[in-house]
Structure 1
Amino acid sequence: MDSLLLTKGIFPRDFLNKTADYILSVQLEDGSIPWFTDGKLDPWDHTEAAMGLSITGHYPEAEKAYDWLRQQQLEDGSWFANYQDGKPLYSDKRETNFVAYVATGVWHHYLITQDTAFLEKNWSMVNSAIQFVLRQQSPTGEIYWAVMEQGQPEKDALITGCSSVLKSLECAILIAEALNKNVEPWHEAWQQLGQALKYHPENFDRTWESKDRFSMDWFYPILAGVFRGQEARDRLQKFWDKFVRKDMGCVCVSDQPWVTIAESCELTMALLAAGEKKKATQLYSWLHNWRDSDGGYWTGYQYAEDVIWPEEKTAWTAGAILLAADALTEHTAASRLFLESSLNIRPEVELPETEEALAAVNN
């Protein structure tokens, strides 16, 4: 198949059920979902694949994935960055956006199933994960990207990672509200993080080279609700030609000839969030060139060499395909999760420029 044009109310169930079956073929008996058979996993991608299972009605298997996370959670609320065969692969770091993403997955599953018992069962896990992440928030609002083996944070932040955390924190707040839990400090933490992302790009990439070559830094703030409406459309238009390759998809990095399917799915949702449905539909229609006969999708395509690279079909790519399809067709009650935000970033208060102005404010 060269293309697949989706619209509201028409979810190609038979076509995409095969993609869910691919995720199921990778999932282990303990509930963990590695990248591919005999591969490693990380908590973020494990959750992305589980969300694909929820969309396609595989509720017990999705819940088993969250059971695995609950069982593996460390005492401080975190998870290691990588696991192999259901066990930690390295213990050198714990990445904050990986830890926070469980809240997005749990809320997503609840939106589809309306199973309050599922929320209650996983509240302690979500609460502990978010508490861990917020302990890594800097005084200027951004979330440090990782905590190293000895417990010290790496004091720099990523735009993409913090955008993902912002969405996860919003989902955690919604979970708390559904369960009548008081998490008022989380609201202020969300505001501080949102303001850092919107108004203070200098807070990110301070100790390494800028990540603005990466397409996710371009569109993830839109998925997180940092930029909306015309602001979001202007942002997408500004760098469209830098990152999008016609009839193929979105590149991972602007200076490399490598289209990646998961990023293209996420850009599809960012376009929908910005009201660019025609572009979203067209972009998503290109991605099925990279579908294999078993329903899985190759991670990427290197167009300069005209080769699939790497030669792997990741379960999280399949999850992203299903999330974008749901967003395009509004198939489930979670279809708008990444298209809108229930919270609003406050306008930044500008500091007075003169001593006289400062005195006026204080008086």
Structure 2
Amino acid sequence: MRILFVSESFLPHMNGVTNSVLRVVDHFAAAGDDLGIIAPAWPGAEKHLRTSCGRRVRVRRIASAPMPGYAEVRIAATSAAALRRRIDDFQPDVIHLASPMVLGGRAVVAAQKLGIPTVAVYQTDIPGYTARYGMPFLESASWQLLRDVHNRATVNLAPSRATGDQMRAHGIERVDLWRRGVDTSLFSPALRSEALRARYARPEERLVVYVGRLAAEKQVEDLKVIHDMPGVRLLIVGDGPEKEALRRLMPRARFAGFRTGTDLAAHLASADLFIHPGELETFGQTIQEAMASGLPVIAPRRGGPVDLVAPSRTGWLYTPGMLDELRGGASDLLFDDAKRRAFGRAAEESVRKRTWPVLAEQLRGFYRQAMREHGRIRAAH
């Protein structure tokens, strides 16, 4: 296939959207597909991506500006006509819209004009973010924009059942389920390191880890109830605008900064429990990586984690906002070694078959579905 990716976020900014695109691009490049990427421009950003199999994929960069209040996120604004020329140059069989909003919204209009099928992957709860950042008045407008973008797409993909239900409730049509893969060759209990663990916790302490952006929507401040537990040490892996405020709030916590690859995998495997307090997760990729590392997980009973965490087997889900439930779940697992290890083994087993190659081939099936559906839609008109 000739597949063109239009990604609302991309390298050098690393987040869930970027990671998903990189993983499926790696797989399709190794399979011999012809690939192109359109993404926001960043100062010094590369014009080509070298995949893990050694192939180079061209990245067409669109002029962008930093998002007010969150400079690591770039907003790429261009006209549908300008995008149409770039798309026409590549002549794709299908266009993959990664978390479409502004750039993706222009691209889906251009694709309609050119008669090219599109698969739109919903990934970021923008309406929820507006409320978390003190702009609840924009929530309805955000859903209106998302509805317009997604209802122009041929196929829409939700990362979890809860998110799919939310999309349908807001009038988004043609929604299927496509989850995310996890690199089980990287994330593994085998990477547990007592030497690494000793850098963050005393031998008698239990080590609780969080991995993710340190931003308002992740609600990392809710981990204060874990920070204050006797005999527990909190390890926070990641970076973002809330870092200094979180340091002041939780002075006993260890902050490891942004980590990737084997280094990140070792940090996960060396902990005892993973907690993600964010209530706006459409999927929860770091949850899946923690489970592959042999850790039980605690997360809110909302969005993506509901699909990932099996209560009483791989971890606990707590009522959003009920931090006493969060603390109780943590206490239950941290101070019962046999239960914690059993939950951790079950967590690892539950994600063992969710590899990126398997998920990428599922995605290829959705591309083919979009091509078939697009033919039917055009014929109907």
The normalised TM-score by structure 2 is 0.28
More helix by share: 1
Higher strand share: 2
Of structures 1 and 2, the larger Rg is shown by 2
User: How does the TM-score come out when normalised to structure 1?
Assistant: 0.29
